[in-house]
Homo-oligomer: A and B are copies of this chain.
Amino acid sequence: MNETINTILRRRSVRCFRPDPAGQSELEAILDAGRYAPSAMNQQPWHFTVIRNPELLRKLEENCKTAFLESSVEALREIARQEGFCVFYHAPLMVIISGDPGAIAAQYDCTLAMENMMLAATSLGLGSCWTHAVMMFQATEKGKAIFRELGVVFPEGYQPYAAAVFGWPAEPYPETPLKKTDCITFLD
């Protein structure tokens, strides 16, 4: 086993953050990791929007949470109804990766980039959590309007394909949940 594989295996979704943001050097390393992801035909059809403004994060969170509250998935509605639930987990930093829907594989490319970023964060001691509510909310007309209203705009024609929050974990890493093992077929 090596350090990279160790990082991959110990990465966890962190849902409890310290209020102080990551330093600029950590943030730049995380963004570099994203920019070095593979992309179809090396199109790099992505843009990284880094949100650190606490007031903006708060307003965005309030709105994105409605995507969970109005989801067709009961488990998501249930989580969102819990008292004090914050769909951004009070993290001091969010990155949204938007992509060009006209590219060969924008959703794939942006997702690959975000996994690089979450692993880079883990390797630096930072926590991260994929934030699906951003894409769910932005997929609605109301969501698009609120994003514009809040000034969270993307390059012309781009749409958000990946979002995650980042920050220093406020607690020790949670235990790794059970991972399925009966999910592999060999065709030899």
Contact = CB atoms under 8 A, between A and B. Distances in A.
Interface of A: 1-5, 7-9, 11, 13, 29, 31-33, 35-38, 40-42, 44, 46-53, 56, 73, 75-76, 104-105, 107-108, 111-112, 114-116, 118-120, 122-124, 130, 132, 151-152, 162, 176-177, 179-181, 183-188
A8 B52 CA distance: 25
Copies of this chain in the oligomer: 2
Contact of A187 (B9, B73, B118, B151): B151
A186 B50 contact: yes
Nearest to A31: B184
Given A9-B33, A115-B37, A124 B183 contact: no
Nearest to A107: B107
Nearest to A42: B177
B48 A184 contact: yes
